[in-house]
């Protein structure tokens, strides 16, 4: 589903002509299979979020190639990437990224609106997913009226609205308490088992990482290890 071949990335810092080059990722080879839950762990600054942004097309690699769902996306135009992203990728964020002035229903509905789906079909699809993630009774509530766990469930519903084969999650439990974290991880496992959705989880949380089928470690921009599911990873994440 996702393949990175010798991907490197660097940032230029400073004024034009006097830039300082900062390498971030080095010769990354990564393969994520269909139906996998893969966790990418590492300290802050190790390159985790940069790697996720490369997979999602928000930034381009300095060198190397990226394939998503069989398509080489490395050199897609911004417009083509936006269309590809809408139909192939779902996103979960630590900060939920909900629009305060829109209800839970309206926030979850956004991907369908962008795709031009009719009103009746939108209503049916949105309510089905809100029911699946356990938030249907709060469909008319605004984000400010919902708990953190409830807001994250709306975010999950939105990420799945177009039935994407891949969901990319950046610290998805970072704003949740322990109980809501357990509920969200159970929901991710259920969605993976029942829908076959592939998940890539960026995390520094031992509990989140142990949910994955496979755990990869980034250190100073290098991909170092892969672990089997389970076990304590706290010392490795650090």
pLDDT digits (tens, 9 = 90+) for 16-44: 777 888 999 999 999 999 999 999 998 88
Q: Is residue 23 part of a domain?
A: no
**Both structure tokens of 128:** 């089905």
Q: Kindly indicate the confidence band of residue 228, based on its pLDDT and cuts at 50, 70 and 90.
A: low
- Listed in sequence order, the residues at least 6 apart from 178 whose beta carbon sits closer than 8 Å to its beta carbon are none
Q: Is residue 21 part of a domain?
A: no
Q: Is residue 168 part of a domain?
A: yes
**CATH code at 224?**
3.40.50.300
Q: Is residue 71 part of a domain?
A: no
The residue range of the domain holding 82 is 35-63+77-237
Q: Specify the number of domains making up the chain.
A: 1
Residue-level pLDDT at 18:
77
Q: Is residue 111 part of a domain?
A: yes
At residue 52, does pLDDT exceed 50?
Answer: yes
Tell me the pTM.
0.85
Q: Is residue 210 part of a domain?
A: yes
- By DSSP bridging, strand 89-93 and strand 166-170 are parallel
Q: Kindly indicate the confidence band of residue 235, based on its pLDDT and cuts at 50, 70 and 90.
A: very low
Could you write out the three-class secondary structure of 69-115? CCEECCCCCHHHHHHHHHHHEEEEECCCCCCCCCCHHHHHHHHHHHC
At residue 192, does pLDDT exceed 50?
Answer: yes
Q: Identify the CA nearest to 57 among candidates 100, 98, 127, 7.
A: 7
Residue-level pLDDT at 237:
44
Are 175 and 96 contacting, i.e. CB atoms less than 8 angstroms apart? Answer: yes
Q: Is residue 148 part of a domain?
A: yes
pLDDT tens track for 132-180: 888 999 999 999 999 988 998 899 899 889 889 999 998 888 878 888 8
Q: Is residue 68 part of a domain?
A: no
Per mean pLDDT, which range of 2-16, 200-214, 224-238 is the poorest?
224-238
């Amino acid at each position: 589903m996702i393949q990175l071949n010798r991907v490197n990335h660097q940032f230029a810092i400073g004024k034009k002509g006097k830039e300082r080059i900062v390498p971030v990722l080095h010769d990354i080879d990564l393969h994520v299979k269909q139906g996998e839950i893969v966790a990418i762990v590492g300290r802050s600054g190790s390159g985790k979020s940069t790697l996720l942004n490369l997979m999602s097309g928000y930034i381009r690699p300095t060198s190397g190639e990226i394939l998503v769902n069989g398509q080489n996306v490395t050199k897609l135009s911004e417009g083509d990437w936006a269309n590809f992203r809408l139909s192939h990728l779902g996103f979960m964020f630590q900060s939920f990224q909900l629009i305060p002035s829109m209800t839970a229903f309206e926030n979850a509905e956004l991907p369908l609106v962008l795709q031009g789906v009719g009103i009746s079909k939108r209503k049916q699809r949105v309510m089905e997913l809100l029911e699946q993630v356990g938030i249907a009774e709060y469909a008319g509530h605004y984000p400010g009226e919902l708990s953190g766990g409830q807001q994250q469930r709306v975010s999950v519903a939105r990420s799945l609205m177009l039935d994407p084969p891949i969901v990319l999650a950046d610290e998805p439990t970072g704003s949740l308490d322990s109980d809501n974290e357990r509920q969200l991880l159970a929901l991710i496992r259920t969605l993976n088992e029942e829908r076959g959705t592939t998940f890539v989880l960026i995390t520094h949380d031992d509990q989140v990482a142990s949910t994955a089928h496979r755990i990869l470690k980034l250190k100073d921009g290098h991909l170092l290890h892969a672990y089997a599911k389970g076990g304590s990873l706290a010392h490795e994440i650090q």
